[in-house]
Amino acid sequence: MSDPHFIELSDISYSFSAETPPLLHDINFTIGKEKIGLIGPNGSGKTTLFHIIMGLLRPSGGKIFFKGEEISTQKQFKPLRREVGFLFQSSDDQLFSPTVLEDVAFGPLNLGFSIDEARQISLDTLKDLGLEGFENRITHKLSGGEKKLVALATILAMKPRLLLLDEPTNNLDLEILSRLTDILNTLELPFVIISHDWDFLAETTSSLYTIDHGHLHKCGEDHIHEHRHVHPYGDRPHQHKD
């Protein structure tokens, strides 16, 4: 039998409440091997999908499998959270310690590394991200782009098996954007990146998905959808090129 998928979503649907229409419908998605880009309009449910994968929101329907085992309770999500590095859309939701070193060392300390080991892992990770010398900086005084890289350091220090990055390029100037692109291209890790930046996704990922009216589609594959016609032959069988 072939290896199970690292993470598999099967027919996942999500509504915020019984009164609101579903935000996500019948999402089938396997992740853990490729470098995937996820693009879609504001409010289409991209961040919500990441929260469902991490077990921070409970789906209204469908199943989530981690290494072939169905998971649904908070206890069952723990091993997934240990192996999946989740970069929040807002770095301020991720960073909470007074200094950069304390923030980055928090994960390794939690994993049981000694203080010296956690310090070394943190310094090495900061160095890999071009943040040498940042260890004693006050986290909340960093610039938006610096916070984003420190937030990435906090998850890379945990040696994850998969990254979920929610809009990692927000607030980045061209120099840091290019550094992040290089880092992601050097990492031998699968990831899913939510971004509105086509160029960045083209440079860092090998397949692209969109969320459209609650449905997930793989780009480059045909899919049937509803649309209105603004051309005169709309009532006859026809094809669109894009």
Ligand X SMILES: Nc1ncnc2c1ncn2[C@@H]1O[C@H](COP(=O)(O)OP(=O)(O)OP(=O)(O)O)[C@@H](O)[C@H]1O
Name the site residues for ligand X (rule: CB under 6 A): 16, 20, 23, 40, 42-48, 89
Nearer to Mg ion, 44 or 122 (CB): 44
Q: Taking CB under 5 A as the rule, does residue 170 contact Mg ion? A: no
Interacting residues with Mg ion between 63 and 102 (CB under 5 A): 89
The least distance separating ligand X from the CB of residue 159, rounded to whole angstroms, comes to 27
CB distance 162 to 79 below 8 Å? no
Nearer to Mg ion, 22 or 130 (CB): 22
Q: How far apart are CA 93 and CA 113, in angstroms?
A: 24
C-alpha gyration radius of the chain: 20
Residue with tokens 């009216």: 213
The least distance separating Mg ion from the CB of residue 30, rounded to whole angstroms, comes to 21
Nearer to ligand X, 45 or 107 (CB): 45
Report the partner that residue 154 touches, choosing among Mg ion, ligand X, none (CB closer than 5 to 8 A by kind).
none
Report the partner that residue 153 touches, choosing among ligand X, Mg ion, none (CB closer than 5 to 8 A by kind).
none
Q: How far apart are CA 30 and CA 92, in angstroms?
A: 29
Burial of 126-143, coded b for 16+ CB within 10 Å and e otherwise, reads: bebbebeebbeeebeebe
Nearer to ligand X, 48 or 204 (CB): 48
Q: Which of 47, 76, 90, 181 binds Mg ion (CB under 5 A)?
A: 47
Please give the span between the terminal C-alpha atoms of the chain, in angstroms, as a whole number: 39
